[in-house]
Chains A and B, each alone.
Chain A
Amino acid sequence: GAGVSQSPRYKVAKRGQDVALRCDPISGHVSLFWYQQALGQGPEFLTYFQNEAQLDKSGLPSDRFFAERPEGSVSTLKIQRTQQEDSAVYLCASSLARGLRTGGDNSPLHFGNGTRLTVT
């Protein structure tokens, strides 16, 4: 399909393991966002890419979290030494817009169906 694709759909990791979550945005979408959604909460911003440039990583909870988008398309969110509090759904969203009004109805955020991470 032509939507945002995330893999894996589910990931179970033992505490201390490293994980890598992949996001394939919609082709041609300039903006890419990562969000973390805990149970019963709304999505919380993690980081933002405009093409290959990571313009905002203020939402990353610790230096164990790292994201990249080296060629301006596929992005990977890596979590090192996972902890139980990292358990959540990780959502990727892409948007056509480069800048102003990202998320507006002329350039809405298109979300992938997320990766559900469980750290045991």
Chain B
Amino acid sequence: RKEVEQDPGPFNVPEGATVAFNCTYSNSASQSFFWYRQDCRKEPKLLMSVYSSGNEDGRFTAQLNRASQYISLLIRDSKLSDSATYLCVVGPLNSGGYQKVTFGTGTKLQVIP
């Protein structure tokens, strides 16, 4: 089983729709969770961290479910500019004091006019 698994998509949604992605992780000791966004042929950029209590940033909501070992990303009122690949990132606390995070393969979102 992969450490971090995502549905690769693509998710094709109309503008204005709400879309949600899930990501499952295998290491129960994982302590840090993030969503990164990667545009085509560009580098990944941090979208948001995921906190235990769930957190929201504008149209984006992230949730963590430790019992079932998954995180989710909800995008409301989708915009054309949201079209990208969304990478789930999970990190256990490394004994050396740094986090060697693991990236999922990404979920591709295409927002259609």
Cross-chain contact of A109 among B46, B94, B104, B106 (Cβ < 8 A): B46
Q: Which of chain B's residues has its CB closest to A43's CB?
A: B103
The answer to whether A43 touches B44, judged by C-beta atoms less than 8 angstroms apart, is yes
A15 to B16 alpha-carbon distance, docked (Å): 48
Number of interface residues of A (CB under 8 A): 28
Interface residue A25 (Cβ < 8 Å from any Cβ of B): no
Interface residue A1 (Cβ < 8 Å from any Cβ of B): no
Q: Which of chain A's residues has its CB closest to B2's CB?
A: A42
The answer to whether A113 touches B49, judged by C-beta atoms less than 8 angstroms apart, is no
The answer to whether A105 touches B44, judged by C-beta atoms less than 8 angstroms apart, is no
The answer to whether B32 touches A103, judged by C-beta atoms less than 8 angstroms apart, is yes
Cross-chain contact of B87 among A42, A56, A113 (Cβ < 8 A): A42
The answer to whether A42 touches B99, judged by C-beta atoms less than 8 angstroms apart, is no
As a 0/1 sequence over residues 58 to 77 of chain A, the CB contacts with chain B under 8 angstroms (1 = contact) are: 00000000000000000000
Query: Which chain A residues have a beta carbon within 8 Å of chain B's beta carbons?
Result: 31, 35, 40-45, 48, 50, 55-56, 91, 97-105, 108-109, 111-114
- For this complex, 10 residue pairs linking A to B, each with C-beta atoms less than 8 Å apart, are A50-B98, A56-B96, A56-B100, A100-B93, A100-B98, A101-B32, A102-B99, A102-B101, A103-B89, A103-B91
